[in-house]
């Protein structure tokens, strides 16, 4: 019988995959080469490093990652050893956009900012950055974009206003990061924001990172803020996560444990996509899971269309208030001098998933 080793934080992992094989679920950070030595399939999230160290001398033939980013996967190693790889790129894009909108709403409310006079800078215009740009456009908020690839999308988008990174940092009132983490190539993103360009960002501006922690030099940023420089921060991802920089955490107005994409809808979609890809690989029938019982605990909130910008963002907070997640993360590290990675992971594993409110469908009505 097929043996499947899986991160136990993959939603409904047993309900979906038990018809394909014997499922062994355990915390993603605790999956070792010994666990997968005799397994056929490995299913992970972003916290499991999948490389030669983990897979050498194992029977793994298929790796599925329920993530958008793949910087934790040694894709070249998988190809060289004929291991099939599948990911769920874009599965949580709506959830991340809604997280960013909630962070913008919190920033505007706490600082009495008129969003109609703001410019939002989007760094990285892939699936998520594109969706955020479109949402802000529909709300009447100006955006500027930077992306070395300068992608052009074949969809109903307004003109994409691309500028270079230094100009964006100086022009934007709110900056949101949506680039992958890369260390090689012509445009590496590792420490893209660093001690050399922090000062370009507007004083009292807002920096939102829901992409990858190491896109921002966390240590240098904490030191920059300790010198009295003023920035509003909304961080969902952290360098060296889960051993996060407590000095930086204390400076963040919004701080969450890598849950921007953790709406219940997105988590289910991620599971469904990987299940479908694995079933196809195995040439097995795709058994549909009856999900009605899993939705009963949620009562989606809907926004009223044809509202002004401020009213829309008040409605965003009614649908998802990111400050509640911030309180939970800050509370577990309150008065602590050392990081507790287990508590960080517990917040993710036990996260009371929110329901997507799909802003665009509401305001398009």
User: Is 258 labeled as catalytic in the residue annotation?
Assistant: yes
Pick from 356, 358, 313: which is nearest to 139 by CA?
Answer: 313
In words, the CATH class of domain 3-87 is: alpha beta
Give the domain ranges of the chain.
3-87, 93-261+309-364
Please tell me which residue in 212, 239, 348, 354 is annotated as part of the active site: 212
CA distance 305 to 296: 25
More confident residue, 51 or 348: 51
Angle at which helix 127-138 crosses helix 93-111, to 10 degrees, equals 50
Please tell me which residue in 45, 241, 348, 354 is annotated as part of the active site: 241
Q: pLDDT tens digits, residue range 222-251?
A: 999 999 999 999 999 999 998 899 999 999
Per-residue pLDDT band at 290 (split at 50, 70, 90): low
pLDDT attached to residue 297: 47
pTM: 0.87
Q: Which residues contact 137 (CB under 8 A, 6 or more apart)?
A: 143, 157, 158
User: Is 241 labeled as catalytic in the residue annotation?
Assistant: yes
Q: pLDDT tens digits, residue range 71-94?
A: 899 999 999 999 999 999 888 998
Do residues 175 and 169 touch, judged by C-beta distance below 8 A?
Answer: yes
User: Is 286 labeled as catalytic in the residue annotation?
Assistant: no
Please tell me which residue in 45, 258, 348, 354 is annotated as part of the active site: 258
pLDDT above 80 (res 141): yes
CA distance 288 to 276: 10
CA distance 238 to 217: 9
Assign a CATH topology to domain 93-261+309-364.
Rossmann fold (3.40.50)
Longest dimension (CA), the chain: 61
């Amino acid at each position: 019988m097929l043996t499947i080793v899986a991160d136990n934080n993959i939603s409904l992992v047993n309900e979906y995959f038990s018809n394909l094989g014997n499922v062994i679920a355990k915390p993603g950070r605790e999956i070792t080469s010994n666990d997968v030595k005799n397994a056929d399939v490995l299913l992970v999230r972003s916290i499991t490093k999948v490389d030669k160290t983990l897979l050498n001398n194992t029977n793994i033939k298929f790796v599925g990652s329920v993530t958008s980013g793949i910087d934790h996967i040694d894709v070249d190693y998988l190809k060289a050893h004929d291991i099939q790889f599948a990911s769920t790129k874009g599965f949580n894009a709506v959830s991340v956009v809604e997280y960013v909108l909630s962070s913008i709403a919190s920033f505007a409310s706490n600082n009495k900012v008129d969003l109609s006079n703001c410019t939002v800078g989007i760094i990285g215009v892939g699936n998520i950055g594109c969706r955020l740009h479109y949402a802000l456009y529909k709300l009447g908020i100006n955006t500027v974009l930077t992306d070395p690839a300068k992608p052009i999308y074949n969809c109903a988008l307004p003109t994409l206003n691309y500028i270079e990174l230094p100009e964006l940092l100086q022009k934007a009132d709110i900056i949101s990061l949506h680039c992958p983490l890369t260390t090689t190539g012509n445009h590496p993103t590792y420490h893209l924001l660093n001690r050399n360009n922090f000062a370009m960002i507007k004083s009292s501006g807002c920096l939102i990172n829901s992409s990858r922690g190491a896109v921002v030099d966390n240590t240098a940023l904490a030191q920059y803020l300790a010198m009295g420089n003023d920035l509003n921060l909304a961080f969902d991802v952290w360098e060296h996560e889960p051993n996060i920089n407590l000095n930086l955490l204390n400076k963040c107005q919004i701080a969450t444990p890598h849950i921007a994409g953790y709406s219940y809808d997105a988590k289910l979609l991620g599971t469904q996509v990987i299940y479908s890809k694995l079933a196809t690989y195995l040439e097995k029938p795709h058994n549909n899971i009856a999900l009605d019982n899993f939705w009963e605990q949620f009562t989606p909130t809907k926004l009223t269309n044809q509202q002004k910008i401020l009213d829309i963002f008040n409605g965003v907070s009614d649908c998802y208030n990111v400050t509640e997640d911030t309180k939970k993360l800050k509370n577990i590290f309150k008065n602590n001098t050392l990081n507790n990675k287990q508590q960080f992971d517990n917040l993710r594993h036990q996260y009371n998933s929110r329901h997507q409110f799909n802003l665009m469908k509401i305001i398009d009505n």
